[in-house]
Amino acid sequence: MNTTQSNGTRKACDLAARPPRERILLAARDLFYRHGLHTVGVDAIAEAALTNKMTLYRHFKSKDDLIVAYIQQLASEGDEVWERIFSENPGDPQKRLDAWVDFVEEVFSNKLERGCALANAAVELDSEHPAKALIESYKRRKRGQLEKLFKDARYHDPRLLADEVFLLFEGARINIQCGKRGPASRVVQMLRKLLASGRRRNRPEGNAKSERRNDTAL
């Protein structure tokens, strides 16, 4: 047995050891990301999850329900990133911002063959699909967290800067689908330059102690 076969067998065994619902979500996540929501059918998902359609429908009433669960999982993981950045850098807005930039660099260092999974899904979903509202809500939270980062780190015009950075990051995750050597390959460099050029608001000396207390309470 060669290495590829061995790895495939090991992955199948690891998957089979998981509960059915988890297997179905894992399979759907992989297939939806690689091939799109509409292209992938429940038969393919059930087969990849080492189960059958009856079991799939026992856990998810429909393919749309499975799509909602897929989007919820992605959004929850994104929220966890922000929670980790804030909790690991208490009382230090600049360190939180630096940690987020490091996270962006990590994201673009990994293989992103099809860019942002949530953005890709949003393109395929009509406005009435419940998963579309979940995506829009998550993107608003993400944009809001950026504004909070810039406001706490005392950047000039945090609202405008959040818009610029949000669009830069989102656009780069779309552009990366056009090739690794395009503008997306320089997104971290552009991001650091944009932040470095952002004018910081002057902090009045009399408010320094108060601001430190506020930072600690974040």
- Domain locations in the chain? 1-60, 63-216
Phi, psi of 200 (to 5 degrees): -80, 140
pLDDT given at position 217: 36
Max mean pLDDT range (104-113, 129-138, 205-214): 129-138
pLDDT at 68 over 90: yes
Crossing angle, helix 93-109 and helix 63-88, to 10 degrees? Answer: 130
CATH of the structural domain 63-216, one choice from 3.30.465.10, 1.10.357.10, 3.90.1150.10, 1.10.630.10? 1.10.357.10
pLDDT given at position 204: 44
Q: Which residues contact 117 (CB under 8 A, 6 or more apart)?
A: 32, 33, 74
Compute the C-alpha angle 133/136/137, nearest 5°. 85
- How large is the average pLDDT for residues 7-13? 58
pLDDT given at position 17: 81
61 and 30 Cβ atoms separated by less than 8 Å: no
pLDDT at 199 over 70: no
Does 204 or 98 have the greater pLDDT score?
98
The amino acid that residue 186 corresponds to is R
pTM here? 0.80
pLDDT given at position 110: 74
Burial class (CB in 10 A: 0-12, 13-18, 19+), 32: buried
SS3 assignment, position 99: helix
- How large is the average pLDDT for residues 35-50? 96
pLDDT given at position 48: 96
pLDDT given at position 102: 92
173 and 112 Cβ atoms separated by less than 8 Å: yes
The superfamily (CATH) of domain 1-60 is Homeodomain-like (1.10.10.60)
Does 152 or 178 have the greater pLDDT score?
152
pLDDT at 31 over 70: yes
What is the pLDDT of the chain when averaged over all its residues?
85
- Alpha carbons 172 and 166: distance in angstroms, whole number: 10
Burial class (CB in 10 A: 0-12, 13-18, 19+), 196: exposed
- Alpha carbons 55 and 20: distance in angstroms, whole number: 8
pLDDT band at 185 (very low <50, low <70, confident <90, very high): confident
Does 147 or 114 have the greater pLDDT score?
147
